Amino acid sequence: MSAFSDKQFDAKQYGDFRPQYPSSLFDIILKYHGSVPGNKFGTLLDIGCGTGQAFKPLSPHFQKVVATDLSTVMVERSKEVARTLSTPVEFYVCPAEKVPVEDASVDVVVAGECVHWFDTDKWFNELSRLLRDNGTVAYFAYVDPVFVGAPEANQIYDEMVYEDGAFLGPYWEQPGRGILRRLYKDVNEKLAADSRFSNVEVVYHDPAKEPAENAKFTISRNLTVAEYLNYAKTWSSYHRWQMANQKKPDAQDPLQEVYRRLNTRLGWDLQTSIQISWKTVYVLARKVGHK
């Protein structure tokens, strides 16, 4: 995940313009964990904590939070968030596959928008080590924002973000982006087949196929085109494009071209209001307890 680990990556922009997870998602996680008699809400571990979008709303339900990320930039940003919380938060810059916590010391693990960076087998081993019996792992993600009711805008997105090799397509880090675009399907199937975990729940949502009101986990926002472009500046592919072209003053900024196409084909300007809805997935599982 070199783009987000880069010291020049703008974590503030990421925190300000990335979509927020709905409270309903955290309610689902808390209900799932609490459905097992005797399960406690002692320690929450947020792996790949980013700017604190997951541990912040969950923290009031736990006695302690441990937050980790491979990016020092993200951890520093999360520390600012933690100062506003009443629950103590410990931070570590470390990989997901090697977290400095004791065996069987964590009640709930969450991982938002980051599992595609992990070595799945090693991560599952680490989850089995650090979770208490019947402890919960919950991971979730969003990808590929859909312009609701605007198929031509979605065509422009596909062209600029993936299909046209002159713009952002070559700058996505692989295989991570492909794993995310599949909404972790291979990871989810591997988890379901792992005997160390049980009660696996996998819920997908594609806003192009299913109305948001019918889905358990939706992320939808009304944005101006200008706000959408600010969100796009948080993409790892855009950061990598900037780094590759910073010494090329004549390079055509791909997001300026996105705007030009939206403006030319659809007549949208920077203040045009649009509705965006992301494809999403969440996965819940429980560590099998000893008999």
Residue 17 has a pLDDT of 61
Backbone angles phi, psi at 112, to 5 degrees: -105, 125
What CATH number does the domain containing 81 carry? 3.40.50.150
161: closest CA among 229, 226, 115? 229
Residue 154 lies in a domain: no
Give the model's pLDDT for residue 99: 98
Residue 205 inside a domain? The answer is yes
Question: Whole domain around residue 43: which residue ranges?
Answer: 2-147+173-220+278-287
Which residue pairs, CB below 8 angstroms and at least 24 apart, start in 96-99? 96/47, 96/48, 96/68, 96/70, 96/123, 96/126, 97/122, 97/123, 97/125, 97/126, 98/126, 99/45, 99/47, 99/66, 99/68, 99/126, 99/130
Residue 121 lies in a domain: yes
180 within some domain: yes
Q: Say if 265 falls within a structural domain.
A: no
How far does the chain reach from its first CA to its final CA, in angstroms?
39
Q: Give the per-residue pLDDT at 232.
A: 93
Q: Digits of tens for pLDDT over the chain (291 positions)?
A: 444 444 444 455 555 667 899 999 999 999 999 999 999 999 999 999 999 999 999 999 999 999 999 999 999 999 999 999 999 999 999 999 999 999 999 999 999 999 999 999 999 999 999 999 999 999 999 999 999 999 999 999 999 999 988 899 999 999 999 999 999 999 999 999 999 999 999 999 999 888 777 788 999 999 999 999 999 999 989 999 999 998 888 888 999 999 999 999 999 999 999 999 999 999 999 999 875
Does 184 reside within a domain?
yes
Per-residue pLDDT at 16? 63
Task: Give how many domains the chain has, as a whole number.
Answer: 1
Does residue 193 form part of some domain?
A: yes
In a domain, 188, yes or no: yes
Query: What is the per-residue pLDDT for 19?
Result: 85
